[in-house]
Amino acid sequence: MTNPVIGFATHEGIRGERRLADLPDRVVEGDPHHVTVSHFNSPDGGMLSGTWTSTPGKWHAFQDRDEFCYITEGHVQLISEDGEIQEFRTGDAFQIPNGFRGFWNVIETTTKHYVIRDYTKG
């Protein structure tokens, strides 16, 4: 089969790790570490999906993307630049639209499945 369906539970993916503090001026509080398992990346790099885990911390949200998230474990807040706080926990799903400005605040170590449309690629 040339284009198999990708099951996140059975697909090995490509694992990556980073300390978010290594990205200049991104972290606001804490020392969040991220582990990402990339399950899909389109040929143009504009569509990707996978599983992400973060330790607690707060940072400026990335922009120029639409992102769908499903929290499989943990507790996070998304805080808009005007101060509105939305909380998400295990079992919650949400969409972050392109243009969102604000912060991710990981309260307890969190794992999510994600699908991102990256407008800086493709």
Which CATH number characterizes residue 23's domain? 2.60.120.10
Q: Which of 62-66, 93-97, 102-106 has the lowest mean pLDDT?
A: 62-66
Please check whether residue 78 lies inside any domain of the structure.
Answer: yes
Q: How far is CA 13 from the centre of its chain?
A: 16
Q: For residue 2, is it within any domain?
A: no
122 — pLDDT class (breaks 50, 70, 90): low
How much is the pLDDT for 121? 85
pLDDT number for residue 94: 98
Q: What is the pLDDT of residue 45?
A: 93
**pLDDT surpasses 80 at 3:** no
Q: What is the DSSP letter of 46?
A: S
Q: Is 7 within a domain?
A: no
So what's the pLDDT on residue 41? 95
Q: In angstroms, how far is CA 14 from the centroid of its own chain? A: 15
- State yes or no: pLDDT of 1 exceeds 60: no
Q: What residues make up the domain containing 48? A: 14-118
For the segment 74-91, what is each residue's pLDDT rounded down to a tens digit? 999 999 999 999 999 999
Q: Which stretches of the chain are assigned E, i.e. beta strand? A: 14-19, 27-30, 33-41, 47-54, 57-60, 65-80, 85-89, 93-96, 102-118
Integer Cα distance of 54 and 49 in angstroms: 16
pLDDT digits (tens, 9 = 90+) for 12-64: 999 999 999 998 899 999 999 999 999 999 999 999 999 999 999 999 998 89
* Confidence check: pLDDT of 106 > 60: yes
Q: What is the pTM of this model?
A: 0.93
- How far is 20 from 30, CA to CA, in rounded Å? 10
CA distance 88 to 98: 19
Residue 9 lies in a domain: no
Q: How far does Cα 89 stand from its chain's mean position?
A: 14
Query: Which one, of 78, 65, 81, lies nearest residue 115 by Cα?
Result: 65
Count: domains in the chain: 1
Q: What is the DSSP letter of 91?
A: T
